[in-house]
Structure formats: C-alpha cells, structure tokens
Structure 1
Amino acid sequence: MLHENRTTIKEFILVGFPTLHPDYYGLVAFIFCIVYFITVVGNSFLVVTFVLEPSLHKPMYIIMLSLALSDIGFATVALPKIISRYWFDDKFVSFNVCFLQMGLIHSFGTLNSYIMGIMALDRYMAICRPLRYHMLMKNRTMTILNGFAWILSMAPVSISLTYIYMLPYCGPNRIYQCYCDEHSIRTQACADYSYETMISFTLAMLVLLIPLAFIVYTYIQIIFSVLKISSSQSRWKTFSTCSTQICIISLYYLPRCTVYIFSMAGISMNQDTRITLILFYSLFPPLVNPFIYCLRTKEIKVALKQLRQRTTSTSQANVNIE
C-alpha cells in the first residue's frame, strides 16, 4: 500500500562495515579501488576485443559483450562512492541519489539474471537443436534479445522502487551497507513496510528463480544430448563449449542462493558478515569474468593473437613508411 509521504530525511549516511576500525579505512578503500580498476579495465578490454575482432561477431559473443557492459555499469555505480567514503570520509549521500543508486544496482543485478538465461538458451540451441541454431540464433536475433533484457531489467525495479520511495523516512538515516540497496533503505522507514517487503521479495524471486529454473532445464537437456554422443572425445568437446557459461552462471547464482537459503532458514548473521557475502556475490563475478573468458574460451585466445599480430604488422608498416 502507498503511504502518505512524511519524509524528513534529506540525506543518508553511508556506514559501510559497522565494526571496521578507522585505521583500516585506507586499506579497504585501496582494495575496493583495485577491484574497480581490474573490473573496468578487464571488461573494457573484452568489449574492445569483441568490437575490433570480426571473428568474434557471433551470437555467443554478443551475449558476453552484453554481460561485460553490464559488469562495467554495476561496478561504476556501486564502487566509487564507497571508495570515496573510506578514502576521503565522504559518507553523505543525498536522498534522491541514494534511491537512484539503488535502482541502478538492482537493475544491473536483474539484467545479469536475464543474460544468464540467454546464455543458457544459446547453448541449448547450439547443442540440442544444432540444425536450427544458425537459422534462429542469428546476430540480429541475439542483439534483439539482449536489448529486451536491458529494457525489461528496469521493470521490476521500477515497481519496487515506487513503493519504497513512497514510504515515510524520518530517521535514523544510516545505511549499513557499502552502497544504497533496497534492504538497507527500506529498514530506515518510520512506518510498517511489510507490504513493500513482500512486493520486493516476490519480484526478486521472480527475476532470480524463473531464469534459474530455465537454466537448470536447458542444462539438463544439454547433458542428455551430450550423453547420446557415441564418441567420448566428441562428448568432451561438446561439453567443454558450455564450461565458460557454467562457470559464470555458478558464480552468479550459487552465492545468491546461499544467502537466500540462510535468510529463509532464519539463520542470523552479523552485519559485517552479511555485507561481505553480498559484496562477494556482487563484485567477484564481474571481477573474474574477463579472466574466465580469456582462459577458457579458445576463440578469444585466437582472436587476441590475431589482433596482436595485426597491431604489430600495422606498427611495423608505419615505421617503414616513416
């Protein structure tokens, strides 16, 4: 239900880790800064590689490009403020900016869930429906699917954000998290927010569990299809094409499901532990995804080698002209 808005709070205080000693503020800021730098540089490197290398202009890599852009967006929205908070004691966030950050963070989280589903669909069609794959899963089709994912990722967040924004906030105004998220903001309301909690939880489960159920179904079908292949070498080669996606999907879903199971089971945890777990499943996948792509995807290794050779040839040609 919508409340009469009696908000008196103009800004929130970003606390971060509640029990962290000030002596470690600089170290924590440095760690966050390194995580942000590696995430943005690594994913940007992949984006540039995908754009410049024609051999990667394929449906599967359009999905990876979309995921890399999403990871850059999430890190850019989430990390600079907490780095500033611990490095420069810049802990104040205006009311509207906090809600904006919350909306963007949850939108990127929802987007990643949709992208995982598209990844699973791509592998399902490639392995279980190989004769129809090239007819249905074209670059244009994959671009449209990812475009819809970016647009639709804002829908559940907008609904939840509307209800939470209309709650009255009159103190306290301390956000016990490293960025403005829905749980931390909602608990600051000075009114009954059980209805808003139910709406938010229902939407979160829908955007998490529906793609997860689809992913589980598609990979069960993939496993059955792979087991039907007579040659063990062919089975291994076919299954290895899914290994990168399995790594990425596992990193995204397993930690989240663990936190939700703990919550539903009533297992309590202190605030620092909760914040650490949320940061792990939010920041670790975007950090390591570029390394997973480069280490486990043969085509990207070949593309990087070709791109380096072309760059070297161009440089030598320029030197000769001079």
Structure 2
Amino acid sequence: MITNFTRMKSFFILGFPGLPPHYYGPVSALLFLIYLGIAIGNIFIIAFVIYEKSLQKPTYLVFCHLALNDLTFGTVTLPKIISKYWFGDGIISFYCCFTQMFFVHYLGSVTSFILLVMALDRFIAICIPLHYPVLITNNTVSVLCGFAWFIPLPLMVAVVLHALTLPYCKSNVIAQCYCDHFSITSQACGEDVKILQVTALCVAMFCLLLPLAFILFSYVSIIVVILKMSSVVGRKKILSTCSPQIFITCLFYLPRCFVYVANTVGFSFSLDVRILLILFYSLFPAAVNPVIYCFKTQDMKQTLIKRLKKTKIGIEIKLSYFSKAVI
C-alpha cells in the first residue's frame, strides 16, 4: 500500500474484512435496497409535507429537516460501499475521502441539533401549551433549524482542515464502510495526531451531549407533566403526540451510548462487529424514521389515509367509466 504521505493519492475502503467474497453480491444488493428505502422514504416525507398545506406546521417542518439530513447522509455514505461490493471498486481519492468524512460528522451533528429543536417543540407544546402558538411558529422553527445546520459547520470545517495538515505515512486502508475521522487519522503520523483526535472528540461531545442534555430535560419534564395528569385520555393523547419524537431520538442516541459505554468498561468488539454496529446506528434511523412519521404521527397518518382513499375512489371511477365506454 501507499506509505509516503507525499504520494498518498487515495484510500481503500475495507468494508467488512471478514466477509467471504461469495457474499459480496448479496451484501451489495442489501445495501442498495437500504439506500432505496432511505431515498424513497425521506423524499416522500419532504414532498408530502410540501404538497399537503394542512401539514405545514412546526412539528412537520422539523420532520422535513430531519428527512433531508437522513437523505443526504445515505447519499454520502452508501454509494461507495455499494460500489465496492458490486463492482470491486473500493478506491476513493484522497480529497473525496476527506469530503465524505466532513459530511459524515457534520450531518451527524446536525441531526443532534435538529433533535434538540424537536424536543423544544414538544416541551413548549406540553409544558407551557398556552404560549405554544406564540413561541413556536413556522418561521421560528425555520430559524432554529437553520441554526441546527449552521452551528456544527465551522467546527467540522476546522477539524477537517486540521486533519488535512497531518502527514499520512501509514497504510491507506480505511477499516470502515466509509471515511470517518478516526479511520483516517489512524493512518497519520506525528505528534499532532493525538491532539487532533482529542480535539475532534471534544467537538463530537459538544455536538452530541449538549443537545442530549436539553433533550433529556425536555422529555423528563414532559413525563412529570403526564404523571401529574388525572385524565387517562389526556395522558394517552400526550403520549401519542410525543412517541414519534421519543422513538426517533432513542434510535439516534441509544446505540451510540451503548457502543461508548461498552468501550469505556473495556468490552471490546471484533472489527467486523464494530463496523456493523457503526453502520447500523448510522443508517437504521434514516431508513426507519419515515415509517415512524407516517404511522406514529396522527395528522400525517390520517392525511395519508384520506389521500389513499381519494386515489382509490378516483381509480374506481375511471375504471367504471372505461368499462361502460367499452360496453
């Protein structure tokens, strides 16, 4: 492999090192189906909310931002690993690898801040409902989501630019399904590597734990409000309005926390298992979130059912008219 940083022109995406070659086809097909699910599901959510005026409310605008983020993440990460297993093309250019690394960590950070906006929306709606129409409007949510996209941007740009200054004198093999910060900087040499890795870890903790602290505060406050309610019907109604956001938040944070705690207590995973876990918690939420939006959110589910019924009736009328015309 390439060993001198002056000649380092590309990296090799390793993927799953223990995967036998005869499984390459099925794995690439599975990853392609996952990408199709992510693309179709999230594009549908964005288009459906844009098309349905009744759904253009703060909560659903946040869903659109999250769907756009999930769609972009899948598009940035999956095509290359699919290409590796489908066409045997595991080579990615030096700067493309750094670009992918930037988007991987940037989009993950944006997700964290969008989940914060989502938690804030539910916190105000349930804990101070009288102020909700004033505090949470479409414009307010658009501004907050704009901050969610902007806040991690300079931090991630700084981390990537710093990583570009390192001399890369080890192997050019990326032991992962996509280029991430740890995999790339592990191939670097020099005293600055550890400093950069610690700095990147601090940035990651800021982007993940700061929103998580407020998210936990929000949902604990909501649970307290629910427990204080005497009406069983009221409790169920509030839980139904919060359950989509709670599911989405848990899908994003719980696997990450599990991997972090397991590493902290000294429980080690094999390389294949570690790569699979990271791929799972990175892509599974993006694939599942659209299903949660559609089936766990009452307004969206009811609107979708109405549209399907209208479409079915329209098709039946056309078929009836066509059959009469033929007769």
Deviation at 1:265, TM superposition (A): 2.5
Contact 1:43 1:69 in 2 (8 A): yes
Is 1:188 the equivalent of 2:187? yes
Question: Kindly tell me: are residues 7 and 317 of structure 1, through their superposed partners in 2, closer, same or farther at Cα, counting changes over 3 Å?
Answer: farther
Deviation at 1:6, TM superposition (A): 5.2
**TM-score of the superposition, structure 1-length normalised?**
0.94
Unaligned runs of 5+ residues in structure 2 are none
Deviation at 1:312, TM superposition (A): 5.9
> Secondary structure in 2 aligned to 1:121?
helix
Question: Kindly tell me: are residues 121 and 7 of structure 1, through their superposed partners in 2, closer, same or farther at Cα, counting changes over 3 Å?
Answer: farther
Deviation at 1:315, TM superposition (A): 7.0
Deviation at 1:60, TM superposition (A): 0.3
Counterpart mapping for 1:124-135 below 5 A: 124-135=123-134
Question: Kindly tell me: are residues 80 and 129 of structure 1, through their superposed partners in 2, closer, same or farther at Cα, counting changes over 3 Å?
Answer: same
Contact 1:50 1:65 in 2 (8 A): yes
> Secondary structure in 1 aligned to 2:205?
helix
> Secondary structure in 2 aligned to 1:13?
strand
Equivalence for 2:227: 227
Is 1:50 the equivalent of 2:49? yes
Is 1:239 the equivalent of 2:239? yes
Query: 2: distance between equivalents of 1:314 and 1:114?
Result: 42
**TM-score of the superposition, structure 2-length normalised?**
0.92
CA distances 1:10-44 after superposition (whole Å, capped 9, x unpaired): 10011111111111111110110010001110111
Query: 2: distance between equivalents of 1:273 and 1:88?
Result: 24
> Secondary structure in 2 aligned to 1:177?
coil
> Secondary structure in 2 aligned to 1:242?
helix
Equivalence for 1:116: 115
Deviation at 1:263, TM superposition (A): 2.2
CA distances 1:55-96 after superposition (whole Å, capped 9, x unpaired): 101000000010111110000000000000000001110000
Equivalence for 2:289: 289
> Secondary structure in 2 aligned to 1:169?
coil
Deviation at 1:160, TM superposition (A): 1.4
Deviation at 1:306, TM superposition (A): 3.1
Contact 1:53 1:307 in 2 (8 A): no
Equivalence for 1:64: 63
CA distances 1:137-164 after superposition (whole Å, capped 9, x unpaired): 0001101111121122322211211221
Contact 1:67 1:115 in 2 (8 A): yes
Equivalence for 1:269: 269
Contact 1:10 1:94 in 2 (8 A): yes
Counterpart mapping for 1:70-219 below 5 A: 70-192=69-191, 193-219=193-219
Identity of aligned residues (%): 45
CA distances 1:237-279 after superposition (whole Å, capped 9, x unpaired): 1122100111000000000011111222232221111101101
Query: 1: distance between equivalents of 2:241 and 2:48?
Result: 20
Query: 1: distance between equivalents of 2:269 and 2:305?
Result: 47
Equivalence for 2:252: 252
Query: 2: distance between equivalents of 1:283 and 1:190?
Result: 31
Deviation at 1:317, TM superposition (A): 9.2
Tell me the matched-pair count.
Answer: 318
Query: 1: distance between equivalents of 2:115 and 2:69?
Result: 12
Equivalence for 1:27: 26
Query: 2: distance between equivalents of 1:37 and 1:82?
Result: 14
CA distances 1:88-140 after superposition (whole Å, capped 9, x unpaired): 00111000000001101111101110111111000000000101000010001
CA distances 1:153-204 after superposition (whole Å, capped 9, x unpaired): 3222112112211110123100110001111101011223110111011111
Query: 1: distance between equivalents of 2:207 and 2:144?
Result: 16
Name the amino acid aligned to 1:302: Q
Query: 2: distance between equivalents of 1:97 and 1:171?
Result: 19
Name the amino acid aligned to 1:290: P
Name the amino acid aligned to 2:241: T
